[in-house]
């Protein structure tokens, strides 16, 4: 059962993490992030950092991996939002 | 220690969940969601559903509550993306 739960966690993490790839791709291609909210980007990034610590304390690999990758993609979006400011 | 970890999880969940409120507010005010990627919205929503199941199996309250509320906000964004299509 434990491995089934971990597998489900990895599937969940893969989806929520990979979901930022089309968003980064769209922003990169359109050079537009103006409909993305600063509040969302900053609050989400802060939350992802806390989830990362939570995952490390729980030693829950799916939570750790998913949030580490999500953080990298969020930093990419924030960088583009600054560069393509409108 | 267990309660400290849960508290951290609740803080993380509060941030990643509430982060969608400024995004929903921005979309509602501007009547624009065109810079939001469909791939992100749909993959993220699918992932959130799996995180919800993961949290239920782990009986991890922070994961359950955070993902339930996030799902509601994502449904609001998807609904606006359809209504304000551009």
Q: What stretch of H or E contains A62?
A: helix A61-83
Report pLDDT digits (tens) over B11-25: 988 998 899 999 999
Q: Which long-range contacts (CB under 8 A, 24 or more apart) does B57-60 make?
A: B57/A4, B57/A5, B57/A8, B58/A5, B60/B9
* Chain B residues lying within 8 Å of A33, measured CB to CB: 35
Domain that holds residue B38: 2-83
Instruction: Quickly count: other Cβ atoms within 10 Å of residue A57's Cβ.
Output: 16
* Domains identified in chain B, total number: 1
pLDDT given at position B86: 56
The pLDDT tens digits for A10-28 are: 898 899 889 999 999 999 9
Could you tell me the CATH number of the domain that includes residue A14?
1.20.1280.290
> Inter-chain contact B43–A9, Cβ cutoff 8 Å?
no
Q: Which residue has the tokens 């509550």?
A: B65
Contact B68, B45 (CB under 8 A): no
Q: Which among B9, B35, B57 has CB closest to A5?
A: B57
- Locate A46 and state its tokens: 């802060």
Instruction: Determine the length of chain B.
Output: 86
Q: Which of B12, B41, B58 lies at the smallest CB-CB distance from A54?
A: B12
Write down the ipTM of this complex: 0.80
């Amino acid at each position: 059962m434990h491995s089934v739960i971990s597998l489900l966690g990895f599937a969940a993490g893969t989806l929520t993490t990979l979901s930022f790839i089309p968003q980064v791709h769209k922003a990169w291609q359109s050079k537009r992030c103006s409909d993305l909210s600063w509040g969302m980007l900053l609050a989400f990034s802060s939350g992802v950092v806390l989830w990362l610590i939570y995952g490390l304390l729980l030693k829950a690999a799916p939570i750790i991996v998913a949030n580490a990758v999500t953080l990298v993609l969020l930093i990419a979006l924030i960088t583009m939002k600054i560069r393509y400011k409108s």
